Structure 1
Amino acid sequence: MARYRTHSIEFKRQVAQEYLSGETLHGLAKRHDIQRQLIRVWVRKYEEGALDDAQAADLIQEYEARIAALERLVGKQDLELEFLKGALKSAPRQRNRPTSAITGPEVSPSPKDAG
């Protein structure tokens, strides 16, 4: 499964400012190894003011990553619990027996052993 890169708000703002200061889309895309369309999106958001609060946005990104990690952990634990419940249901039940029944009856020595 492909993993997408995430870029900080500060990086997005920097690239947008570089473009607005005269850099070409092609040059920026090549230098930063990102698509030109992505730069256009970042520039539009920068001009709309969506990239202004960098620290808050970075904190939100950190929280979202932490939430995703915790959701994966909860899902994994839920699967383990379901597996263990199924194993418990299919396990043979043991009956409660008196102690003498568990240890077995006393066995007297055979005549061969006595001799």
Structure 2
Amino acid sequence: MAKHRVHSIEFKRQLVAEYTAGETLHALAKRHDISRNLIRIWIAKAEVGAFDNEAEAADLLSGYEAKIAALERLVGRQALELEYLKGALKHGRSSRNVSMSVITGPVVSALPRDVG
């Protein structure tokens, strides 16, 4: 069974250019192991400008893929921040009337001077 191959737009344009330069369909098909009918299809598409639209669509698609990747990284970073803050909120709950120091923690109440 024949494998389905995908050829780049540049390769298709190259074959069309070789054909228009005088190369025969038979020689092109044999050299690149491609059917002559497929080359005819590419020639017809090139004549109507279909390869130009495909190139623009490929550029647009790659731009969208890059934007999606950046947004996915941002969502991942925000998810990590959210989990961190949820954990900090869960473990950081203490009574609000206790004085806290960022460096030493809860302030220990001093004993009255008159004790003793």
Q: Residue 75 and residue 51 in structure 1: after superposition, are their counterparts in 2 closer, same or farther (change >3 A)? A: farther
Give the alignment of 1:54-73 within 5 angstroms. 54-73=51-70
Identity %, equivalent residues: 12
Between the aligned partners of 2:110 and 2:35, the Cα distance in structure 1 is 84
- Residue 15 of structure 1 corresponds to 15
Task: Structure 2: state its 5+ residue gaps.
Answer: 1-5
When structure 1 is superposed on structure 2, of 78-87 and 15-24 the one drifting more is 15-24
What SS does structure 2 have at the residue aligned with 1:46?
Answer: helix
Q: CA RMSD in A?
A: 3.8
- Residue 75 of structure 1 corresponds to 72
Q: Cα distance, 1:79 vs. partner?
A: 2.2
Task: Structure 1: state its 5+ residue gaps.
Answer: 30-35, 109-115
Matched, 1:89 2:93: no
Query: Paired residues, what number?
Result: 97
TM-score when scaled to structure 1?
0.54
Between the aligned partners of 2:46 and 2:97, the Cα distance in structure 1 is 76
TM-score when scaled to structure 2?
0.54
More helix by share: 1
